[in-house]
Amino acid sequence: MVVLGIESTAHTASVGLVNDDATILAVASDMYRPVQGGIHPREAANHHVRVFPGLVERALRDAGVRAREIEAVAFAQGPGLGPCLRAGATVARTLSLLWDRPLVPVNHCVAHLEIARALSGLDDPLLLYTSGGNTQVIAYGGGRYRVLGETLDIGVGNFLDKLWIELGGTFPGGPALEAEAKQGAELLPLPYSVHGMDVAFSGILTAALAHRAKGAKRPDLAYSVETTSYAMLTEITERALAHRRKEAVVLGGGVACNERLRTMVREMAEGRGAAMYAPDRSVCVDNGAMIAWTGHLARGSGLAVPIEASGIQPRQRTDRVGAPWRKDPAPAQGS
């Protein structure tokens, strides 16, 4: 079954095609880049409306797939920016009607995780999901994904983007800060904010800007911010691994592109005898293939919605949607 997926939750409009074994047949993406500041939702949505027809054509051409071979159309229903989600949902509804194929809504966060899980070959890993809007440690249990820990304020990616813009850069900040951090040498003191399995970033942002006002160098700031925030993420991941007795961790979301975060989590996991997997960077960032693959799983469980029930859900949470394609693992010995 070939499934087409539409991603449009925030900055990236993307169309992906996958087949039965999660082989990515094609991905065609176009990212909205604000001239200055953060994402303007309506401008981003206008961008998506403009590029989607070309992206659908390109994805089909690159995959060498004809429209009649597509068996389902999946789209990201939420969470995300309302105008952006609406643009993608409209494209998905149109294709579903045009081709007379089932329409399958997908949760964007679950999609980041499912594509990473499929590519890792790991059956039941713990998931560290770090992206622009989200920062969550997740494990499957009882029919859905459960959030064990998360950010108490902003997502780690939004935090990095905000900091970089305040330092005079442009969106996205994560990759630029990563390059800058490589030149850093001095570790500046920043608030280390871990609360059980939760984290918070806004205190680090304030403290980093205060360092800057006192003349701290940008590379040192970038290095210190990465060290502190990724250590926090590594700590909550380790706590969750220990409590859930998991033997593997998988990374997903745009911040999982970061080499230091990957290395820190890998070293922690290997130190405990656990496996760690992070997908290729092109799969970590928003892409249509992850929506297509999760749509494939959902469709395989019989999920589809009529047009009138396909409304977007900008605040849809990871733990409010079912994952009926997952099976409950046998309980661990002694638990």
Binding site for ligand ATP (CB under 6 A): 9-10, 80, 108, 112, 131-134, 155, 157-158, 160-161, 172-175, 178, 253-255, 257-258, 285-286
Give me the least distance between CB of 35 and Fe ion, in Å please: 22
174 binds, among ligand ATP, Fe ion, none (CB under 5 to 8 A by kind): ligand ATP
Burial of 42 (0-12, 13-18, 19+ CB in 10 A): exposed
Q: Closer CB to Fe ion, residue 178 or residue 286?
A: 286
> How far is it, in rounded angstroms, from Cα 67 to Cα 156?
38
CB 181 within 8 A of CB 223: yes
Tell me the per-residue interface mask from 281 to 320 with Fe ion, x by CB under 5 A, - otherwise: -----x----------------------------------
User: Cβ of 306: how many Cβ atoms within 10 Å?
Assistant: 9
Does position 8 interact with Fe ion (CB under 5 A)? The reply is no
Does position 228 interact with Fe ion (CB under 5 A)? The reply is no
Q: Closer CB to ligand ATP, residue 3 or residue 181?
A: 181
Choices 49-57, 64-72, 124-132, 293-301; region in contact with Fe ion by CB under 5 A: 124-132
Which candidate, 177, 178, 202, 204, places its Cα nearest to that of 189?
204
Give me the least distance between CB of 263 and ligand ATP, in Å please: 12
Q: Closer CB to Fe ion, residue 134 or residue 228?
A: 134
Choices 85-93, 127-135, 290-298, 320-328; region in contact with Fe ion by CB under 5 A: 127-135
* Cis upstream peptide for 331 (omega within 30°): no
Site for Fe ion, residues 128 to 147, rule: CB under 5 A = 131
Sheet strands side by side (includes 103-107): 24-31, 12-18, 2-7, 70-78, 103-107
> How far is it, in rounded angstroms, from Cα 27 to Cα 16?
4
> How far is it, in rounded angstroms, from Cα 25 to Cα 28?
10
Residue with tokens 């604000």: 34
Q: Closer CB to ligand ATP, residue 129 or residue 140?
A: 129
> How far is it, in rounded angstroms, from Cα 282 to Cα 168?
26
Does position 161 interact with Fe ion (CB under 5 A)? The reply is no
Site residues for Fe ion per CB under 5 A: 131, 286
